[in-house]
Amino acid sequence: MKYLIIAILFLSLKVQAQESKQFTIEGKVLKPLDVNLESLKAYKTISLDSTVIYNHLQQRKSSIKNIKGVLLKDVLSKVQIAEESPKKLSEYYIVCTATDNYKVVYSWNEIFNSDTGNHVLVLTSFDADPVKTEKGNIALITPSDKATGRRFVKGLSKITILQVN
């Protein structure tokens, strides 16, 4: 009985760790920005029927359906990077962090100067297969990636803009 209670507590903490209804954009920006589900409604919504989640070995792990989201570059365009020279923007990168501290990285050029930026989505709603706790939470995915699971951030909590030293 004691182990059952411990297991239930552990699982409930794990579920809570992936909840995300808002995230912050911070780092080398003039003013940090808090973003929540309500504020994301102001952006153009992109809808996808579904996408398959593949791991690093290109093996199918799951899928998500009824996807709705906004482009990450649209959200990032609302913050001003603390840099005067456009040439220096090539030195910047974006770290997207989940509530469980999982992190993925994009370069500034990848988001704003390549086709990838037209596919990176901040998800506002989706249905997971199998149904998992991340349903309804803010997430981030790049459906154009071959290994989509590598940059599937469930429970997006923070985006940090940094410069290479």
Q: What are the Cα distances from residue 129, in Å, to 63, 133, 153? A: 5, 11, 16
The per-residue pLDDT for 75 is 98
Q: Is the pLDDT of residue 15 over 60?
A: no
Residues shown for the chain: 165
Each residue's pLDDT tens digit, 45-83: 999 999 999 999 999 999 999 999 999 999 999 999 999
Helix then strand then coil, in percent of the chain rounded to 5, is 25, 40, 35
C-beta of residue 65 within 8 angstroms of C-beta of residue 125: no
Sheet holding 103-107, edge to edge: 33-36, 22-27, 156-163, 92-98, 103-107
**How many percent of the chain have pLDDT more than 70?**
84
Q: What are phi and psi of 4, to 5 degrees?
A: -65, -45
19-163 falls under which CATH superfamily? Oxidoreductase, molybdopterin-binding domain (3.90.420.10)
Q: What are the Cα distances from residue 46, in Å, to 62, 121, 140? A: 21, 8, 13
| Total-model pTM | 0.84
